[in-house]
Structure 1
Amino acid sequence: MKKKTNIGYKGKDENAFALSTGDLMAGLLFIFILLLMGALLQVQKKAEQDEEVVRRYDQIKTQLYIDLQDEFKENLKVWRASIDSSLCIRFQEPSMLFDEDKAELKKPFKDILDDFFPRYIKVLNRPEYRDNIVEIRIEGHTNSNGDYFHNMELSQDRTRSVLEYCFGLMSVEQIIWAKSLITANGLSSSQPILVHGVEDKSLSRRVEFRVRTNAEKQLEEIANKRFNAEQ
């Protein structure tokens, strides 16, 4: 009888131990699920925050495009210019810009800049835009005629001429704000204008004013964070 009773107690102890181990495993699994859910919620929240940042800055970019269109819609045709949703204003009538192989601004282009640039800077310098602009690019482009490196030097000289002239059209306050943002970029024939796959050599000779906003910067930062997180 004594031996039988001992076996019974041993069985009860083993069952109790097995039950406590199962409870422990269930508890650990529950904690793991909670941690996983918390991590997934954090990822979702961060993604939603990123989307909201991009959406907000994209709205700023879109509104700036609308305001530039409204400001210059009566002038673009006269200036032989165009504006697109990438915030590029393109002056594409070479006969009005520079003489062949020269970097000095022609009078018609000076007259255009006299009207265009103060209004352009005034729009960009509005409170809703000024802190969201990271670069104002003046780009000079040539066609593919001639030597690439000579055209690179020529396009750089032309954009420098435009930059110097535009600085003379700004107030001291505007210069203080803009001088860290404006760049002059000579691009030679690296970005020709193609029509049906063939370069339009007249349109390729042009000057462009481009604006980069925080929308692009935010997209780059978010893309870099996601890329680094996947490594």
Structure 2
Amino acid sequence: MFYPSKNQEAQEGESQWISISDLMSVLMMIFLFIAISYMINVVKERERIKEIAVAYNQLQDELYQDLHSEFENDLEKWNASIDRQTLSIKFESPEVLFEQGSDVLRNEFRTILMDFFPRYINILTSEKYIDDIEEIRIEGHTSSEWATNNYPQEAYIGNMKLSQDRTREVLAYVLLLDQVKDNRAWIKDKVTANGLSSSKLVITEEGEEDKDKSRRVEFRVRTNAEKRMVKILTGTE
């Protein structure tokens, strides 16, 4: 019977150790390659998000400037304002908008909308912005008041129906304006009516509800930059 010498056993053990060392080296190289690839992808993704964020801020700023330039001479007489962050144009005179508790447009508000909306749409459908507009929300807001002796939740639901009816009336009116007939298909695709009841009350510095300012109608623009960022983060783009 042949018995390997101690020298042979040592050589075989050393050979086996060298094979394991080589394997570990290969695995370390693979792991390092994966880690570097992951870091490169993370950096690329971060750069893409940064580019979109910069473009988004630039778009927001330019759109605000164009809206403000177009309407700056009208805002005071309409008792309206433009929010730079949300690109929301707020009409804040409840006595001009609707009769209390009614969804019928007052004549004064019809006149304002006839002047405002075609000019508003002309900006948003310009070559500069049309591909970046995701949605135009007509938002109806109310105070927390309702009929007397109602529970708060009943007042909220009642105001929800009222605010929704009002925004539908606004949308129906502006959609039929002759000045926007060429953009009517685009408006139907982009403009939505949203009744928000008293969910977004205006609160004073003293922490109390400003009932007059809470009763308002807003035209809010949403761009598609947020959607593109979500696609990047979820890997769907």
Q: Give the alignment's TM-score, normalised by structure 1.
A: 0.86
Matches within 5 A, 1:1-231: 7-85=6-84, 86-146=86-146, 147-169=155-177, 170-196=179-205, 197-222=207-232, 225=234
- Return 5+ residue gaps in structure 1 as ranges: 227-231
Name whichever of 127-136 and 148-157 sits farther off: 148-157
- Determine if contact 1:54/1:218 at 8 Å carries over to the other structure: no
Work out whether residues 151 and 188 of structure 1, in 8 Å CA contact, stay in contact via their aligned partners in 2.
yes
User: Secondary structure at the residue paired with 1:188?
Assistant: coil
In structure 1, the residue corresponding to 2:189 is in which secondary structure? coil
Q: Secondary structure at the match of 1:185?
A: strand
Moved more, 110-119 or 5-14: 5-14
- C-alpha distance after superposition, 1:52-109 (max 9, x if no partner): 2232233212211111111111111111000012111000011111122222211221
Which amino acid in the other structure matches residue 208 of structure 1?
Answer: E
For the residues of structure 2 that align with 1:59 and 1:153, how far apart are their CA atoms?
Answer: 37
Deviation at 1:110, TM superposition (A): 1.4
Q: Which amino acid aligns with 1:184?
A: A
DSSP-derived class of the 2:220 partner: strand
Residue of structure 1 equivalent to 2:149: none
Structure 1 13/142 Cα, relative in aligned 2: closer, same or farther at 3 Å? Answer: closer
* 1:194 alignment partner, SS class: coil
Give the Å deviation of 1:178. Answer: 1.3
RMSD of aligned residue pairs (Cα, Å): 2.2
Distance 2:24 2:53 in 1: 43
Q: Which segments of 5 or more consecutive residues in structure 2 lack a partner in the other structure?
A: 147-154
Deviations 1:172-193 (A, max 9, x none): 3211111011111122222111
Counterpart code for 2:195: G
What's the secondary structure of 1:99's corresponding residue? coil
- Contact kept? 2:175, 2:187, Cα under 8 Å: no
Deviation track 1:187-222 (CA, whole Å, cap 9, x = no partner) reads 222211111211111111111111111123234445
- Alpha carbons of structure 1 residues 101 and 18: separation in structure 2 relative to 1, 3 Å: closer
Q: Is the 8 A contact 1:138 1:184 kept in 2?
A: yes
Contact conserved, 2:45 with 2:232, CA < 8 A, in 1? no
Deviates more, 1:46-55 or 1:171-180: 46-55
Amino acid across the alignment from 1:168 = L
Number of aligned pairs? 222
